Amino acid sequence: MACTGKIIFIWGSFLLISLLNVNRARNLLVALVCKPSSNNPIASGFIQTRDTHFVLNGSPFLFNGFNSYWMMQVAVEPSERYKISNVFREASAVGLNVCRTWAFSDGGYQPLQISPGVYDELVFQALDFVVSEARKYGVRLVLTLTNNLQDYGGRPQYVQWARSAGEPVNSDDDFYTNAVMKGYYKNYVKKVLTRLNTITGIAYKDDPTIMAWELINEPRCQVDSGKTINVWVQEMGSYVKSIDNKHLLGIGMEGFYGDSIQDRKQYNPIPGYQVGTDFISNNLIKEIDFATIHAYPDAWLPGQDDRLQIAFIQRWLTSHWTDSRTILKKPLIFAEFGKSKTYPGFNISAMDYFLNIVYTNIYNLAKNGGTMGGGLVWQIFTEGMESYYDGYEIVLSQNPSTTSIIAQQSNKMTKLKHSLNNPHGDIFEQAKDEAPDEPSLSI
C-alpha cells in the first residue's frame, strides 16, 4: 500500500528510460523502488487454480516474472545477501511479481543437502532469507526441488549417492525407478516443505509467498517417451500433496511432446524429436495443477534466422496454449525463455525484439480466453554478478531499453488482470465462451 501513490509515475517514467544513459537509468530505477511495507503485502492468500486460470482470493491472477536460479547459493554468504534484496527491489519496481529459483543444492559446493538426509543449516538459512525477502517485496516464488542436469547436483548426484550405497544403478534414468533414490528424494521434499523459516517463523508449506513447487527442472529420460516419468510424477506428486495441499504443484517440464498424441510431435524443435517426456500425458496427472513450457530458439534451432526462430515460438506457444485449454484444462506458464549473447549476430536490439514478440504473444493468449498465466524470463541479475552470467543475463539497471519492455509487459498484464476482475464473478465463463480456438499472435 505504501507504493500506491507512485504507480502512475513509475510507468510513465519507464517510457522514457530508453532515452537515458546507463547511469541515469540505474539512478532512476533506484529512485522508483518503493520501500517494503511492514504489513507484508504478500500475505493475502494462496495462489490457486480454477478451470484454466490462476486465481488469488477468487479473482484472476496474471503476472510477469523472472528466473534467478542462483539466489540461495549467493545468500549463503551474509555479506552478499544485498544482491538478493537488490534483485527483488529492482524487479518489483518494474512490476515483476513472480520469481522462479532453485530450492536445492545436492552435494558439491555449498550444498543444502550434503548427503542423503544430511543438511547444512547455514544454507537452509540462506533459503529462509530468499523466501523472507520475496515476501517483503511482494514477489511470489516458484521453488524447484531438484535438477535433471548435474548443475547443483540434481539427478546425477542422487545416482552417485545410490551407487556409493551399493545400489545396482545402470544409468541416471534409474533415478525415476530405483526405490532407494526415490526414498532420498522424498526425504528431501519432506524436509523442505516442512521447514520452519528462521526469519518469518512460517513453515514453507504454510507460506503464501510460495506460489508453487516444481518437482524437477527440465526432466528428461532416455528409457521411453514419457511413461517412466509419468509413473514418477504420479508418485512424487501424490507425496508432495500429502504433505502440502495448500500450494500449487508443477513438474518443471520444457514442453516436449511424446507419443500420446502423435501429430503433436511436429511442434517439437525438430519434428519427432523426443526427450522422454510427454507434455500431454505427464501434465494430465491430477496432482499437477499447471503446465509449463521453456523455449530457447537460438540454442534449439542453431543456424536459423530470427524469422524462423520467431515462427517456432509462435507455433510452440499456440500449440501448448491450445492443449492446456482444451485437453489438460489447466493453466500454462511460459517458465523459461531468453536470447543468449553468446550466439552470432546478437545485439541488444535483437534481444529486445525477441522479448517484445514473446511478451506480446503471452499477453494476447492471456487476453483471448485465459489459460496463459504469464511468463518468466531467463534471467535477472543485479550489478556485480558477472561470475554468474550465462549469456542470458539481464541487469535491469544497465539495460534501459530491455527494462522498459519488461516494465510495459508488467503494466499490460496488471491492467488485463484488473479488467478481468468484474463484480459479477463470471469472467471465467466469459473466457470459455468468447475465446477463439486459434488466437491471432504477433510475429
Catalytic residues, by residue number, are 218, 336
DSSP string covering 96-154:
--EEEEE---BSSSS-SEEETTEE-HHHHHHHHHHHHHHHHTT-EEEEE--BSSSTTSH
Euclidean distance between CA atoms 146 and 106, whole angstroms: 8
Identity of residue 178: N
> How does DSSP classify residue 24?
H
Q: Tell whether the torsion through CA atoms of 324, 325, 329 and 332 is positive or negative.
A: positive
The helix (H) or strand (E) run that includes residue 210 is: strand 210-214
Q: Which three cell numbers stand for residue 238?
A: 501424490
Classify residue 121 as exposed, middle or buried by CB count within 10 Å of its CB (0-12, 13-18, 19+): exposed
Euclidean distance between CA atoms 363 and 369, whole angstroms: 11
The helix (H) or strand (E) run that includes residue 290 is: none
Euclidean distance between CA atoms 282 and 294, whole angstroms: 15
Euclidean distance between CA atoms 139 and 318, whole angstroms: 28
Looking only at the bridges linking them, the beta strands covering 53-56 and 47-50 are antiparallel
Euclidean distance between CA atoms 290 and 244, whole angstroms: 16
DSSP string covering 59-94:
EE--EEEEE-TTHHHHHTSGGGTHHHHHHHHHHHHT
Euclidean distance between CA atoms 49 and 46, whole angstroms: 10
Angle, CA of 359, 379 and 61, to the nearest 5°: 50
Q: Which three cell numbers stand for residue 306?
A: 530470427
Query: For residues 64 and 52, is the Cβ–Cβ distance under 8 A?
Result: no
Side by side, the strands of the sheet bearing 332-337 are 248-250, 210-214, 140-144, 98-102, 63-67, 372-378, 332-337, 291-295
Euclidean distance between CA atoms 249 and 423, whole angstroms: 29
